[in-house]
Amino acid sequence: MLINVKFSDFTLLVKNFHFATDCICNIEIFIADMNFKTSYFITHPTGFQILLYTGILTWLWFAEAYILLPPVKSKWQHTISNLKFVFTALPVQLFMTIFLVMISSWVAIHHWGILIHLPFSNSFFVKYFIGFILLDFFDYVYHIIMHKVKPLWKFHLVHHTDQTMDVSTTIREHPGETFFRMCFLIIWVFLSGASFGLLLLRQTFQTIANITSHTQFRLSEKNAKRIGAIFVTPNLHHVHHHFKLPYTDCNYGDVLSIWDRLFGTYNELESSKTVFGIDTHMNKSICKSFTHTFKIPFKKTKDLNNK
Ligand SMILES: [Zn+2]
Ligand SMILES: [Zn+2]
């Protein structure tokens, strides 16, 4: 029902914007038709993204359960607690996606944004490769802002309060953070001029990177060095989830780890020394409770003195 509303709104939007038909290789060229294709090409990528997300998440969850053999009951309880965040964050995500698509359409129609002003802006390389790198840099900046701006940190720290990190930690996101994340993404799309096709490509890589970086599985030292030279690995993201500074404020990368290396926020920590959580909120029973963690951003900031 919600999705139908979204599509009809989007069709109206496209009508208003007199959508251009000269875009290449992506959804925008079809949206201009304003017929059944609109629904098809919007629903198809949405369905694909949901399938990809749940598919990788479920597969890794069972792999963790059967290979690492954690206590079954506590893994289920932990997962259910994190799963509750999905039901609060998903409506926000879907609603904000309408505005994201609107902005992406607007920048395409008006040939707006950094990417369009780069040399060879019509080439696949600039549109998708450079665009991907630019969006990833913007996400790195977003993550730093979420850590450094206190009112925003109160929402993001909910993700950091998980003391038993596994693949389900990926979905532990306060709906308030979902709202801010989507606001920033809309700003990034406006600044970069990212097409809907680029957003879909990026989302696919982001899904894989975000889920795998939260899994309990770690790469061998050799592979962690090789893959971690460019991409965020579980080994690197686990450091970001260590309960104490300076580790909490390092390894901000989303898909690529190069930004942390470039801007001095890269750090390493052995698995045996890593303790998940956040030092201001180490009460286990509170962190396990969805209701308590949900309320954290609305409480007074006196206990956030590590930021
Ligand atoms: Zn963080
Ligand atoms: Zn994380």
Is residue 4 exposed (0-12), middle (13-18) or buried (19+ Cβ within 10 Å)?
exposed
| Mean pLDDT of the chain, nearest integer | 83
Nearest ligand to the C-alpha atom of residue 166: 2
- Percent of the chain scoring above 70 in pLDDT: 83
Q: pTM for the full model?
A: 0.82
Mean pLDDT over 13-40 rounds to 39
Rounded to the nearest whole angstrom, what is the distance from the C-alpha of residue 144 to the centroid of ligand 1?
8
Ligand 2 centre and the CA of 196: distance in Å? Answer: 25
SS3 state at 225: helix
The residue assigned the tokens 């308590």 is 292
pLDDT at position 40, please? 43
CB 15 within 8 A of CB 1: no
Mean pLDDT across 133-160: 95
The amino acid that residue 140 corresponds to is: Y
The answer to whether 207 touches 52, Cβ cutoff 8 Å, is yes
Q: What is the distance in A from the centroid of ligand 1 to the CA of 21?
A: 40
Percent of the chain with pLDDT over 90: 58
CA of 166 relative to ligand 2 center, distance in Å: 10
Distance 228 CA to ligand 2 centre (A): 16
Tell how far the Cα of 23 is from the centroid of ligand 2, in angstroms: 36
Tracing tokens 């479920």 back to the chain, one arrives at 58
Ligand 2 center–CA 213 separation, angstroms: 7
Q: Which residue has the tokens 């696949």?
A: 124
* Most confident of the following: 6-20, 33-47, 83-97: 83-97
Residues 6+ apart with CB under 8 A from 50: none
Using the mean position of ligand 1's atoms as its centre, give its distance from the Cα of residue 156 in Å.
7
Ligand 1: centre distance to CA 131 (Å): 23
* Cα(240) to centroid(ligand 2), Å: 7
Domain boundaries, the chain: 2-303
Return d(Cα 96, Cα 89) in angstroms, integer. Answer: 11
Residue 232 CA: which ligand is closest? 2
Q: Which ligand places an atom closest to the C-alpha of 211?
A: 2
Least confident of 1-10, 40-49, 72-81: 1-10
Q: Of 94-103, 122-131, 177-186, 199-208, which range is least confident?
A: 122-131
Per-residue pLDDT of 256-293, as tens digits, reads: 999 999 999 999 999 899 999 999 888 888 888 899 99
Mean per-residue pLDDT, 88-92: 93
- Tokens 């590590």 belong to 306
| Distance from the alpha carbon of residue 17 to the mean position of ligand 2, in angstroms | 38
Task: Return the closest-CA partner of residue 233 out of 198, 201, 258.
Answer: 258
Residue 169 C-alpha to ligand 2 middle, in angstroms?
7
Ligand 2 centre from 218 Cα, in Å? 14
Of the bound ligands, which one is closest to the alpha carbon of residue 238?
2
Tell me, in angstroms, the distance from the centre of ligand 1 to residue 142's CA: 10
Please tell me the number of the ligand nearest to residue 172's CA: 2
CA angle 138, 133, 95 (to 5 degrees): 50
Say whether pLDDT at 307 is over 70: no
